[in-house]
Amino acid sequence: MTKKVFISYAHKDEAFREELEDHLSMLKRDKLISVWHDRKIDAGDKWKNDIDENLESADIILFLISSKFLGSEYCMDIEVARAIEKEKEGSAKLIPIIIRPVDWESSDLSQFQALPKDALAITSWSNQDEAWVDVTKKLRSIMTQFVPNIVPVQNELKFSDNIRVSESTLEWLNSTEISFSHRSVDTVKLDDVFVWPDLLLDQDVKEIEIIESKKLASQKGRYFLTGEEQQGKTTLLKALYKQALLNSVIPIYIDARDLKKSDLKSLVDTDLHQ
């Protein structure tokens, strides 16, 4: 199975990232890995969202360690912090690669086995190609042995004492409505794969605004959700339904097929008294 590799580095060290990618070419050719780094972000994309999403989905996380990297608040406070959590979860493998001599042992990364051999910085080798070969060989071994765990994106729903949800409703909310399989779990739940999408909010036909869909759960109003088939409307509905429950708001879901049997008011009254 192809592992997704996330490379984090200081932009001053971009030449080292390029060298690493050159030496990873055989791993990519053998389909052992796919590689992502922030230079793959297209112009106009939301860079933080792209970084966060790719970090979350990574199986192997490589940090190119130098004084510039350790001096980056974003690298250390955001990326390293989350990578350490993923390592503890078993959902990813964190590997520091020392590229230039620096006092990295006093950082949070000191608890992890660093590359190349003896954590000797790439620039300290008399032959840097030999250093990269050492890194690549050890990475190949790790790639073939490491099996990431699937960790749910969200914890089980915890409602306030006055909220009661039937088992059938919870089962519906947790269903992806697609048959997924994974070697680590029997059932892939919706929370395991759901990402809040952006929406085009058509306010008065003349003005269209792009908003994060999660905001609909906290902004009062009437919304009409439209889109092509298989675009995720029902999935978004389920996420908003859960968010309402977590906010101690009781949502009402009406299946349009039931409207043939009764009028809307009767259906709402029935749901409220069940």
Domain locations along the chain? 3-145, 167-273
pLDDT tens digits along 115-161: 999 999 999 999 999 999 999 999 999 988 898 876 554 445 566 66
Q: What is the pLDDT of residue 114?
A: 96
Tell me the CATH number for domain 3-145. Answer: 3.40.50.10140
pLDDT band at residue 63 under the 50/70/90 scheme: very high
CA atoms within 13 A on the CB side of 156: 4
Q: In the block, which residue shows the tokens 């759901």?
A: 194
Q: Is 118 left (phi over 0), alpha (psi -120 to 50) or beta?
A: left
* Angle value at C-alpha 56, between 209 and 77, nearest 5 degrees: 90
pLDDT tens digits along 227-258: 778 777 888 888 888 877 777 777 777 766 66
138 burial class (0-12, 13-18, 19+ CB within 10 angstroms)? middle
Beta strands in the chain (DSSP E): 3-8, 33-36, 60-65, 93-98, 198-202, 208-212
Q: What is the pLDDT of residue 155?
A: 44
Q: What is the pLDDT of residue 147?
A: 86
More confident residue, 232 or 107: 107
Residue 239 backbone phi and psi in degrees, to 5: -65, -40
CB 99 within 8 A of CB 109: no
Which pTM does this prediction carry?
Answer: 0.57
CB 150 within 8 A of CB 86: no
